Copies of this chain bind each other. A is one copy, B any other.
Amino acid sequence: MANEDKFSKATPCEACPLRPLEIFRPFQHDELAFVANFKIGERSVDGGGTILSESQRSEHLFTVLSGWGFRYKVLKDGRRQILNYVMPGDMVGLQGTLMGEMQHSIEALSPVTLCVFKRSGLEQLYRQHPDLAYDITWIAAREERILDENLLSIGRRSALERAAYLLAFLYQRAETLQLFRGGRNALPLTQQHVADTLGLSIVHTNKTLRKLSGRDLIRWADRGCEVRDVRGLLRLAGWQGLGESKRPLI
């Protein structure tokens, strides 16, 4: 896949399109300066391409600048489980950077742009910017929290509840990133992705999504899902939503 465009530095951190968003905590000047220096370039991957793959030892760490992707694992016989989705502002590759080897893969769902950070810069970050170090731990804890909720969902919720939870979850995340401004408010997934996230077969996923459509909670458009009633989805899933206030962006 020759879709790499490494080390072009198109977007300087000072003009980061994400940082102004309400959801992210403001930066100190020196923090911004450090991160701008920590970033060594950008990389783009087109839809369907691989961002990181299992057993890989990456020397880089990334933050998603634009686009959607998903983290997943596969069993030897090909059964796939999607673990979580990645969206702008999410840091990826931390597990691999800290622990030596990736134990999951990440694939782009739409064209993705990544900020590339030098692995070695991380130690410097921990030494010179305790607040940023704290932020990184915070980011890891957030991922953990999301996985907890996901595990509850797959383990104990019915197919319909699971689907409702997932779509409400994705919608809310996209919403706080203002990803729906301008375009149509559709989540860029196929039903296969939904199936692999929920631990269901594609056939039953289809039937479940049609039930949600029947209740006017969603509408499945070409290669995507329009959420029409988040409240309804939340109620159906018995979930309060991920009520996030400010969070760090690195």
The answer to whether A238 and B75 have CB atoms under 8 Å apart is yes
Q: Which residues of B sit under 8 angstroms from A16, Cβ to Cβ?
A: none
The answer to whether A145 and B99 have CB atoms under 8 Å apart is yes
Q: Which positions 18-61 of chain A face chain B at CB distance < 8 Å?
A: none
Given A157-B75, A199-B156, answer yes or no on A151-B99 (Cβ-Cβ < 8 Å).
no
Q: Which residues of B sit under 8 angstroms from A221, Cβ to Cβ?
A: none
Rounded to whole angstroms, the CA-CA distance of A94 and B138 in the bound complex is 9
The answer to whether B126 and A130 have CB atoms under 8 Å apart is yes
Of the candidates B126, B155, B157, the one whose C-beta lies within 8 Å of that of A134 is B126
Of the candidates B81, B103, B130, the one whose C-beta lies within 8 Å of that of A155 is B81
This chain's copy number in the assembly:
2
Q: Which residues of B sit under 8 angstroms from A149, Cβ to Cβ?
A: 73, 103
The answer to whether A98 and B138 have CB atoms under 8 Å apart is yes
Does A204 count as interface, using CB distance less than 8 angstroms?
Answer: no
A121-136 near B? 1/0 per residue, CB < 8 Å: 0010011001101101
Q: Which positions 107-128 of chain A face chain B at CB distance < 8 Å?
A: 123, 126-127
Distance in angstroms from A54 CB to nearest chain B CB is 11
Q: Considering the complex, give the chain B residue whose CB is closest to the CB of A71.
A: B148
Rounded to whole angstroms, the CA-CA distance of A131 and B148 in the bound complex is 27
Of the candidates B81, B98, B143, the one whose C-beta lies within 8 Å of that of A156 is B81
Rounded to whole angstroms, the CA-CA distance of A238 and B136 in the bound complex is 33
Does A4 count as interface, using CB distance less than 8 angstroms?
Answer: no
Distance in angstroms from A85 CB to nearest chain B CB is 13
A interface residues, Cβ below 8 angstroms from B: 71, 73, 75-77, 79-81, 83, 94-95, 98-99, 103-104, 123, 126-127, 130-131, 133-134, 136-138, 140-145, 147-152, 154-157, 196-199, 238
